[in-house]
Amino acid sequence: MLVAAAVCPCPPLLVPEVAGGAAHELDAARAACYDALAVLSAARPERLVVAGPAAGDGLARLAAGARGSLRGFGVGVETVLGAPVRGAAGDSGEPELPPSLTVGSWLLQRVGWRSAPVAALAVGEELDPERCAAAGRELAGGAERLALLVMGDGSTCRSPKAPGYFDERAADFDAAAARALGAADLAALRRVDPELAAELGAAGRSGWQLLAAAAEGAGLAGRLLYDDAPYGVGYFVASWS
């Protein structure tokens, strides 16, 4: 049973050590993420699952204790998913977290998350909507109080200097995504076109559609806490409770 959710962007630049002297440019995004995590904690979940995009079209589950690293981005930042809580044990044999989940793990460590045991789900950016929905329903199908932290960015094509250059469709795509996330509009999230999302580099699409399915029947209300496109990439923070 899903009781709360947070949607956060997942650029490594969210981590100040990666951003360096430009770290202040994402201060507002970080603050919004912290606020969204506070709402998750207040919902008194019995389990937290962090879902984030990864390469491919599959799903991979990772247990508490899985490690992530941002050494590939030139800094020595390392994370451990969900410091063990209530007896949850880490598994040194777990595969390494992808960057999106490493950023999610970093956020949890930054706020000192201790509210519930943590696990993670790497969701392939190319995973089709039907499988996203099936995974979301499976996650929320139990009786335990579940919270979701969904990592993922919008389009990468909002300006000529953006990673995906400029695409005139990007602003409308991001505006629609922001509205849907802010309103907890499940139908609108289900309608996000995976092909268009891929063309615009929107890595968050698969996670958003997983969230939409997990929230079916939960009656959650949404609130948009952040919507901007620094560096030409759409970043959103939303809180559902």
Do β-strands 78-80 and 67-69 pair in parallel, antiparallel, or remain unpaired? antiparallel
Question: Which of the four pLDDT bands, split at 50, 70 and 90, describes residue 82?
Answer: confident
Whole-number pLDDT of residue 94: 58
- Phi, psi of 232, rounded to the nearest 5 degrees: 75, 15
Confidence check: pLDDT of 16 > 80: yes
Tell me what the mean pLDDT of segment 89-102 comes to.
73
- Number of structural domains, the chain? 1
Q: Scan for tokens 């200097």, then name that residue.
A: 161
Whole-number pLDDT of residue 84: 43
Distance CA 159, CA 110 (A): 31
Q: Are 207 and 126 in contact (CB under 8 A)?
A: no
The residue segments making up the domain with residue 140 are: 2-240
| Lowest pLDDT segment from 4-8, 62-66, 170-174 | 62-66
- Polymer length of the chain: 241
Tell me what the mean pLDDT of segment 95-108 comes to.
94
Question: Which of the four pLDDT bands, split at 50, 70 and 90, describes residue 95?
Answer: confident
Distance CA 71, CA 58 (A): 25
Question: Which of the four pLDDT bands, split at 50, 70 and 90, describes residue 187?
Answer: very high
Tell me what the mean pLDDT of segment 195-203 comes to.
98
What residues have CB less than 8 Å from 130, skipping those under 6 apart?
none
Distance CA 33, CA 40 (A): 11
Q: What is the pLDDT of residues 105-163, one digit of tens each?
A: 999 999 999 999 999 999 999 999 999 999 999 999 999 999 999 999 999 999 999 99
Which of 11, 223, 212, 174 lies closest to 104, judged by CA?
Answer: 11
Bridge partners for 236 per DSSP: 227
Report the CATH number that the domain containing residue 190 is assigned in CATH. Answer: 3.40.830.10
Q: Scan for tokens 């995004």, then name that residue.
A: 29
Q: What is the pLDDT of residues 31-40, one digit of tens each?
A: 999 999 999 9
Residue 142: exposure state from Cβ atoms within 10 A (0-12, 13-18, ≥19)? exposed
